[in-house]
Structure formats: C-alpha cells, structure tokens
Structure 1
C-alpha cells in the first residue's frame, strides 16, 4: 500500500501597515492576497500583524513596540518565516533579521520564489533567475553580517577584495550573462513571431488565477496546465484556433498582480511582447472575486506601463457560476443571492457591461456557459481586423501548423 505524501508547510506570519494612503480595509484585502501567495509558495499563515503609521519606520519598517510583540509571538509559536506586504529596503531587511532571528521576506521576494517554483522552460527559468539576481544584488550586505571588512596593515595593503565584494562581482557577472542569454532568446522569439505571418493575434490577459488557462483549453481544445493557485502559468503558450472558417492565433500569458515587482516586468519583457504585438486583447476577470474591480484597475495599469492599453479589448467576466452576492431583502434580512438568481440579461444590465463599452461578456469557462456568444463576439472582432488586413481575400491564409508553442 502506497503511503500518502505528507506536505509540510512553513509556519508563517504576515505583516502590513495602515497609512494615510492605505486604509485598514485595503490592507486586509492585500493580506488576504498575500496569504494566498504564501499558501502557493508552501507556507501556512498562523498570524497577521499590522500597525497604523504615518509612514514606515526607515530602520525596521514597524515601531519598536510592535517589533517586540512579533518577536515574542515568533519565539513562543515556533514561526520560521515572516512576510511583509510591502517591499523592504536592504537595510530594513537586515535590521529586522537581526531582531527577529528568522527568515524575513517581502511581497517581491515571495512572488519571485513562486515564479522560481513555477518556471518550467529554460527561458522562464532564465527570466526568473535574472529577476532574483537583480533583487539580490543590493541586499548582499545583509546576508553577510558575520563578515568584517579586512583590516589594513603590513602585508594587507593593496587591491584586495572582501568576500562580499567578490560576491557582488559574481552576481553582476551573472546578471550580464543572463541578460545576454535573454537577448539571444528574444531574437529567436522575434523571428518565431515574424514567421507567423499576418495571422490575427489574440492575447488572453488578466489578473492571476482568473481562469485564462481554463479558457485557453476550452477554446483551443489544448491542455494548458490549470491549478487553483496563483501564477500556475508562467510560460506563454500559443495555439492556432479556428472559429467558423476563420483562423487566428491565441496566446495565454502570465497573470498580473498588484504590486508586481519591477524586476519581473523587466525580465519578462519578451513574454509581455505577446501582449504588445497582439491585435486583440481578451481581458479576463474573475467576477466571483470580491476585489475584481481592483484587479481590473491593476491589469489596466500594467497594460498602460507596457504601452498596450489602447488595443481593441473584449472584457470577459468569467466564473459567473461561482458568483455569490449578499443582498438585503424587504424584511431587512441578509440573504444570499447566487448565480441561479441571475440570467445573462441580468448581467448585461449591470454597470459591468459598460466597463467594456458594451463589449463585455459573461461566461463560465469551466461549464462553458454562454460560450456561443463568446465565440461569436470573438469571431466578429477577429473578422473585422482580418478584413482590414486582407480586404480582397478575407479567409485565405498560408498553411500553419495546428500547434505553435514557445
């Protein structure tokens, strides 16, 4: 009889702050997301701490009293890891590690760790390693607190290197090597994209874990990896899809997230090129998530950052099967209104339909609910682009392979 694999989660506490720019309600939303990130990375959150501050303490992020409270809890409960919702400066990370004597991470570090776990292809691993090295470089001094600078004296003067300086040089050399490797792969991918000819390109974009890969599988009848965790998909997958008699290329891209590390945006430049070069975007939204409006704003901000916010876009509100909404009935009793109470006409009458300038869809990718309207709307949008590109020969394309993968 086979024994079940026992998964051991790291005991973790989360930390955030309430400021003038971030309310307690907003912080709770961020900590909920941080907890899901922690679970995805293999951690178990046992406690949350937060403090109201005008601004973060430049030395320890939190005040002295709160640091002592966290220190006592960590010691008495055997917690091995503490994760901060905001990015810590190298000096803050160093000081907090000294005080708490445990592993100290911030949101950026956590996301990089998840990306490292999820990267499958050589290209994705190279991109993640580059981002990690760029994050690590200014923090090396905090990792070598046990080393002292070599003292001068007889026989010790001259061009010597301390161990930390040697490590900095090694990391810088590694960054240069990884950048060159990525440039080489970028050229290959650019050639791949140019070889696809003038076929219309459609890209799935959206917040992480909104169901893009499930939708990709449903539309293209492929088998892209799907899991109910954040960043299940890192590697861009491209498939040829045919609706009616019209073929086009559909790409599934890495999911976005609030406070996405700048290192990742830079190192995943080529992955995001699939979005930049797309003719049409399908902006997928998890309508069952309580913070989906913030998710829309976050995705739109990243699209603006990569200069792709002006592309034709269809808003696809997914997971209508999982939507639940609390309403107050006539007797002032709170009741739960589920998807069974909503028809497609109800959805179309909401403000959400206007988000996409009446170019919105409400579907369930898992149950393929309202997929016919989805296919029809995508077909019409692709056909409009196609006719502009091929005004005299709308449906003739060169012979492409059925599956194109990167």
Structure 2
C-alpha cells in the first residue's frame, strides 16, 4: 500500500508594520523571521507572506476595513486555512478577524507556543509548554460564542448558580494549572537532585546561549560528538542538553546547550522556561553564540542580553562572544570581524560548521576556567569525614594539619569547586 503524505495546513503570514511604534523592527527582516517560525512547524506550508503597513492598530479589528477585505480576497484565492499574524492580537481582534476571513488565526505568541509544543522532548519541557499554553488560553477566553453567554446553574461541584460558561472555563483552566504545577514541582525536585549530583563532579559548566538558529547545536555537536538536533531551523533545541566532554585542550567540562532566545518571547514562556534556563545561572562560563552573518545580529544580541539580565545573570560569571557563521560572510566583512576579534579578548570569530577559529576560542575558555583558582584555608570538624574525603578525591588539598577542632586544610580551588563543596 502506498502511504499518503500528511495533509499540510496552508498558512498566510502577515507582519503588521505599525508606524506609530517607535520600537518597531525592520519590516522585511521581521517578516523573514516570522516565515522561518512558520516553517519550523512540520505540517505547515507557507502559501503567502506580506508586510502590512499600519499607521496604528485598530482596536477591534487590528486592520482597517478596506485592508481586511483586500486580504480576504488574497486569502480565499490562495485557499488558506490559517493566518499567522507576526505580533500581538487581542482576543477580540482574533475573534473578529477569524469571522471576517473564515479561517483560524494565530498571533506570534500562539505560533511560538505551537512550535514549543511540537519540539518539547523531556517531561519538564512538556509540562512547561502545557502550562504556558493554558496561561495563554486563559487570556483568550472572550465572549465569542453564544454558549459563553448562557447562565448555568449547578449542583455545587460544577459551579454555583449564575456562573457563566466563561467563568467555568477559566476555573477549569486554573484547576489544570494547579495540577501541572504540582507535577512540575516533582520534576524540579528531581532536577535539583541531578544538579547536586553534578555538583559533586569537579567539572566546570560552559553554557551555550544565543538567539535561535545562531548555531549553538552545531557547535555543541562539533565539541561533543552528540547527535543533538541541529538544523537550519528556529527553535531546533528546546530542552537543555548537557554532556561531560574533554575539550581538545584537555580540559574536562560539562557543556550545556540551551533553548534559543528570540525577540518578543511570550511572557508565558519566559516564566515557564525559567527553570530550564536556570542552568545558565550555574555556569562557570557563558558562551554567547551569535550569527554574525545575520543582518540583525546586533539586535539579536541585545535581545539575548536582555533575557540573561532578566534571569539574574551577573557580571561575575565570565562571558565570551562567539561570532559564528564567518563562513557565510563576504571577504570584506570576514576580515573586519576577524580584526575586531583580534583586538577584543572576549570575542572570537569562528565557524562551528567548518571548525575555523575554534582552537583559539577553546584555549581562551580553558585558560579562563583555570585562572579562577585561588588558595583558601578551611577547617572541618572530625564528623565531616565525607566532605574531607571529597576534597582529597578531587585533588584540591595542598596541606592539612590536625587541630583540636578538627582538620585545617589549605585548598587550591575554583569558585565552582567551592560552590560544589558547599552543597555537600
């Protein structure tokens, strides 16, 4: 029997270019990114795309009536099932546009949630996405259909007299969120145990962060030999992947590949993925991977830095910038990037794909990890044999003397060694 190909949903991508918004991005670049987002869903086919100039958004419809009619004709002609609006759409606007165009509509937040739902692989990732989806759906509950207007009596367990359907829907979502949070707490406790187990390993953690599609997974695969999904696709990695690896320099480290950041990341997802991104807070070195060939690389870098700041990453954690994809730069731009990297010790111009420039980067990271070691004295009681054994096992003890209180040890260790020791 011949297998039938899955039916693709035909989508039309719109980017509203709102002239009154002082923070608006380059419309062409924003539309390209929105199309890439749409293409990240395997069962979606982009049938058309366009920038829609707008002096300001219309409260009830987003677009003006003339533009809505014009778009309706194009949408019908293209036999589109779904319209993706690259920006925020209020519940009322969504309801009205769906009614006018007779298609399903998703705004930017809804689309990103769909992608995260499709990609989440670990139990934690799935739970986080479900929570984000429910939080988003809760804001979408509007009086859109007649059943929402019906008053419903009840027997107490379904809702009191006079409770509307919309209130019952909201209550059901809240109850589901409570259940998911309880499950999430168990997962977080398990993660905490894993983190404490890793803390006993004397390897520093290098966290790879960056805008989505910057090449983090390609770099991760090159350094570890791991088969992490690394495609030219937005949000290729959604769950942090950690591997113990010996760098070519001989340094043993744990590499952490994190979910890609993106501008206007839905607030529901920032909150839901905070636990995942907390891996970054544990890092000894943060490597910010940038697609230096992208026309908006500067804006992307600013978006990444804003999310790191919101997570509470401080200047105490060393950060380096990896200017990736130099193999895609024209000669003049390549020379400029390499010259800038030569002047700035915190920047490295590389290609994760070809390996060019990675040796210098790896040597610098290894040096940074080794440079933070310092000598300190610690006194342990006689009953702290396990902690004392751990210090000797990791080769951190230079001298030891027995005192009336216990053991006085002279240690040569790094900040990460100390942090791990304090969790014992």
Q: Answer yes or no: is 1:314 the counterpart of 2:320.
A: yes
Residue number in structure 1 paired with 2:81: 80
Q: Answer yes or no: is 1:365 the counterpart of 2:355.
A: no
Residue number in structure 2 paired with 1:225: 229
**Residues 141-290 of structure 1: pairs in structure 2 closer than 5 A:** 141=142, 144-150=144-150, 159-197=161-199, 199-243=203-247, 244-290=249-295
Residue number in structure 2 paired with 1:347: 337
Give the 3 Å change call, closer, same or farther, for CA 316–49 of structure 1 in structure 2. Answer: closer
Give the 3 Å change call, closer, same or farther, for CA 7–147 of structure 1 in structure 2. Answer: closer
Give the 3 Å change call, closer, same or farther, for CA 49–217 of structure 1 in structure 2. Answer: closer
Q: Answer yes or no: is 1:71 the counterpart of 2:100.
A: no
Structure with more relative contact order (C-alpha pairs < 8 Å, separation 6 or more): 1
TM-score, L = length of structure 2 = 0.80
Question: What do the CA deviations read for 1:177-216 (whole angstroms, capped 9, x no partner)?
Answer: 1122112211221221122225322100000011111111
Residue number in structure 1 paired with 2:329: 323
Residue number in structure 2 paired with 1:10: 10
Give the distance between the partners of 1:252 and 1:234, measured in 2 at CA. 9
**Displacement of 1:358:** 2.9
Structure 1, 32-41 or 379-388: larger mean CA deviation: 379-388
Q: Answer yes or no: is 1:293 the counterpart of 2:298.
A: yes
Question: What do the CA deviations read for 1:45-96 (whole angstroms, capped 9, x no partner)?
Answer: 413141231x321111122221121122222331221111111122221222
Structure 1, 39-48 or 23-32: larger mean CA deviation: 23-32
**Displacement of 1:101:** 1.6
Residue number in structure 1 paired with 2:370: 383
Tell me if structure 2 keeps the 8 A contact 1:201–1:279. yes
Give the distance between the partners of 2:412 and 2:21, measured in 1 at CA. 55
**Displacement of 1:242:** 2.1
Give the distance between the partners of 2:118 and 2:185, measured in 1 at CA. 23
Which stretches in structure 2 are left out of the alignment for 5+ residues? 154-159, 377-395, 397-409, 418-424
Question: What do the CA deviations read for 1:222-276 (whole angstroms, capped 9, x no partner)?
Answer: 2212111111111111111223443221100000001111101101111110012
**Displacement of 1:385:** 3.1
**Residues 28-43 of structure 1: pairs in structure 2 closer than 5 A:** 28-41=28-41, 42-43=44-45
Tell me if structure 1 keeps the 8 A contact 2:15–2:30. no
Q: Secondary structure at the match of 1:164?
A: helix
**Displacement of 1:152:** 8.9
Give the 3 Å change call, closer, same or farther, for CA 164–364 of structure 1 in structure 2. Answer: same
Q: Secondary structure at the match of 1:141?
A: coil
Give the 3 Å change call, closer, same or farther, for CA 82–281 of structure 1 in structure 2. Answer: same
Tell me if structure 2 keeps the 8 A contact 1:35–1:45. no
Residue number in structure 2 paired with 1:401: none
Give the 3 Å change call, closer, same or farther, for CA 146–71 of structure 1 in structure 2. Answer: farther
Give the distance between the partners of 1:256 and 1:388, measured in 2 at CA. 38
TM-score, L = length of structure 1 = 0.84
Give the distance between the partners of 1:24 and 1:45, measured in 2 at CA. 25
**Residues 390-405 of structure 1: pairs in structure 2 closer than 5 A:** 392-393=411-412
**Displacement of 1:394:** 5.7
Give the 3 Å change call, closer, same or farther, for CA 151–110 of structure 1 in structure 2. Answer: closer
Give the distance between the partners of 1:279 and 1:148, measured in 2 at CA. 52
Tell me if structure 2 keeps the 8 A contact 1:51–1:62. no
**What is the aligned-residue RMSD (CA, Å)?**
2.8
Tell me if structure 2 keeps the 8 A contact 1:246–1:383. no
Tell me if structure 2 keeps the 8 A contact 1:206–1:212. yes
Structure 1, 382-391 or 176-185: larger mean CA deviation: 382-391
